[in-house]
Each structure stands twice: as C-alpha cells, then as structure tokens.
C-alpha cells in the first residue's frame, strides 16, 4: 500500500490500520484541522481492541510504532507512548455503536468557529450534506477528556455520525477510517460554505418537502443512517417562515427594534 493511500473497508491487518492512521493524521494536519499536538484518531481492531494516536505528538508526523492499543475500557494493552485523555470520547462511540470502527477528532477552524459561536451546522442548504449527515448538532461544553464530556455526548451518539463540540471542535465516526475522515472534511467544507453564504447575503434554505425527498434518496446513495434513528432534520425554509426558527443578524435585530420603538413613539 502506498503511504498516501487510505482504502475503505476494515478487513485489514493491524499494520495496515497503523499506516492508515498515520496517513489520515497527516491529511488532517496538512488541511489545518489540527495544529501542534491537537486532535486524535482511532480504529477498532479485532477483539474490540482500539488502536489510537498518542498524546503530545503532532498527528501529521506519526510513525506506525508511535500508536497505542487499548481495550474498550481504556486500559493500555500495547505501545510505549501514552494515549490521549480524549480517547474516552472515542470509547463511548465504540461501546454504544457496534457499526462504528473509526473515529476522527479535530479542531477544524471554521467548524470550530461555529462551535465557539454556539451554533450547530443545521441549515438545510446543501443536498450532499443533508443526504450524508442530516444535521450536525452542537454538544454542550464540558472539559475535554472528562466524564462530563462523555455524558454530554451520550444522547447524540446513537443518532448522529458527526457532532460539533461547543468551544472545542468536532468529532466524526464511520464504519472505516476513510469514511470518518471524509465526514470531518464535509463538516469543515459545509461550515465554510455556510459562512460564505451568510457573508454574501441570507442563505436560501431548502423546504421540508425537498429535505424529505433527499432523506428518502439516502439508500440510492448507499448512505446508511445511524442505527439509533430519530435524528432531528436540518432547519428548512418553511420552518423558518413559520416563525419557529428565525435567524437575524445583530444589525437586522437592532433595525427591527428601532422600527418598533419609532412606531410606538409615533402613536403617542
Ligand atoms: Zn480536542
């Protein structure tokens, strides 16, 4: 296998998984999803052993022998280095989702900007994102690497393949590492497009009817939704128009308030 390739599927031996993690780590670093020693990746090996990246190392410069193996309870089984405290988040997915064999965690700057601004990536803007991920919810803030973060994540894990972590970053899962990595790419790309659309004007959202058609077409695109079902749908144009969700910029809100105040004064 070339050092630049990363093939889908998980019928690989441990050395191939080690190489895959090094390749995906380098891709994430080169795309600016992580800097310094941020982020972590993992893959489920046979017998529920977890192969993961070490703490305090740049994820773009890893060698296969730097990786660590643990069990599902986070007990170290192999490797000279120490795993990240953020592995707890990965283990939660592996315990709750038998369909998940790989996790990517990163701090991609635009998506993390939404997470810092307290915003989910939940607008029904782009068909590919709706088909592939539905909406990307925002998980409330908890200190990274603590049981509190796992508790905050737990209600979302059965229902979503990609999550934003408030004031922190993003986490994606998949049946294999390539899929989990693509989901991280999709989050960041979607965040950039949402931001560009908001800078260019007001994003025009798809209707509930269009979203329903896309969700119904998932099997045609070989998309397997998370087994928990019940994921919330993205915010659509009709939901916005009905008044349930209205997004205003600060300037628009101030203009509305000014207008209301003016009308009120003119009546006196
Ligand atoms: Zn992190």
Q: How far apart are CA 228 and CA 8, in angstroms?
A: 23
Q: Among 4, 34, 30, which Cα is nearest to 19's? A: 4
**pLDDT given for residue 200 in this prediction:** 97
The Cβ of residue 77 has, within 10 Å, a number of other Cβ atoms equal to: 13
The answer on pLDDT for 4 being more than 60 is no
**pLDDT given for residue 2 in this prediction:** 45
The answer on pLDDT for 54 being more than 50 is yes
Across 35-53, average pLDDT: 96
Q: Which two tokens stand for residue 99?
A: 């369909």
The answer on pLDDT for 160 being more than 50 is yes
Q: Which residues are annotated as catalytic?
A: 86
DSSP state of 231: P
Strands 138-139 and 162-165: parallel
Q: How far is the CA of 171 from the centre of ligand 1 (A)?
A: 9
Phi and psi, residue 141, nearest 5°: -70, 140
The answer on pLDDT for 176 being more than 90 is yes
Q: How far is the CA of 162 from the centre of ligand 1 (A)?
A: 14
Q: How far is the CA of 173 from the centre of ligand 1 (A)?
A: 15
Q: How far is the CA of 169 from the centre of ligand 1 (A)?
A: 6
Phi and psi, residue 109, nearest 5°: -60, -40
**pLDDT given for residue 11 in this prediction:** 74
The answer to whether 122 and 200 have CB atoms below 8 angstroms apart is no
Sheet containing strand 138-139, edge to edge, reads 76-78, 68-70, 50-52, 40-44, 102-106, 169-174, 162-165, 138-139
Q: How far is the CA of 111 from the centre of ligand 1 (A)?
A: 13
**pLDDT given for residue 9 in this prediction:** 59
**pLDDT given for residue 219 in this prediction:** 87
Tens of pLDDT along 55-92?
999 999 999 999 999 999 999 999 999 999 999 999 99
Alpha helices of the chain — where are they, by DSSP H?
Answer: 14-30, 87-96, 109-116, 127-133, 147-153, 177-200, 208-216, 237-241, 250-267
pLDDT band at 101 (very low <50, low <70, confident <90, very high): very high
Q: How far is the CA of 112 from the centre of ligand 1 (A)?
A: 10
Among 98-102, 157-161, 211-215, name the one with the lowest average pLDDT: 211-215
**pLDDT given for residue 163 in this prediction:** 98
| Mean of all residue pLDDT scores within the chain | 90
**pLDDT given for residue 1 in this prediction:** 38
Q: How far apart are CA 103 and CA 40, in angstroms?
A: 8
Strands 40-44 and 50-52: antiparallel
Tens of pLDDT along 185-219?
999 999 999 999 999 999 999 999 999 999 988 88
pLDDT band at 240 (very low <50, low <70, confident <90, very high): low
The answer on pLDDT for 182 being more than 80 is yes
Phi and psi, residue 115, nearest 5°: -65, -35
């Amino acid at each position: 296998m070339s050092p630049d390739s990363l093939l889908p599927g998980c019928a690989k031996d441990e050395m191939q998984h080690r190489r895959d993690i090094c390749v995906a780590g380098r891709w994430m670093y080169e795309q600016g999803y992580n800097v310094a020693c941020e982020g972590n990746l993992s893959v489920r090996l046979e017998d529920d052993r977890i192969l993961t990246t070490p703490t305090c190392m740049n994820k773009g410069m890893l060698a296969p022998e730097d990786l660590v193996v643990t069990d599902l309870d986070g007990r170290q089984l192999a490797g000279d280095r120490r795993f990240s405290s953020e592995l707890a988040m990965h283990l939660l997915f592996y315990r709750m989702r038998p369909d998940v064999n790989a996790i990517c965690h990163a701090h991609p700057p635009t998506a993390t900007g939404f997470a810092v601004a307290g915003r989910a990536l939940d607008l029904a803007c782009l068909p590919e994102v709706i088909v592939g991920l539905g909406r990307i919810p925002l998980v409330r803030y908890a200190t990274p690497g603590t049981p509190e973060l796992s508790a905050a994540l737990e209600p979302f894990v059965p229902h979503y393949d990609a999550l934003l972590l408030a004031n922190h970053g993003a986490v994606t899962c998949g049946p294999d590492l390539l899929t989990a990595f693509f989901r991280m790419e999709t989050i960041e790309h979607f965040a950039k497009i949402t931001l560009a659309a908001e800078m260019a004007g007001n994003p025009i959202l798809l209707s509930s009817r269009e979203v329903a058609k896309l969700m119904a077409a998932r099997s045609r695109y070989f998309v397997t939704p998370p087994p928990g079902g019940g994921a919330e749908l993205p915010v659509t144009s009709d939901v916005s128009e009905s008044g349930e969700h209205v997004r205003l910029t600060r300037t628009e809100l101030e203009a509305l308030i000014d207008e209301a105040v003016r009308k009120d004064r003119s009546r006196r």
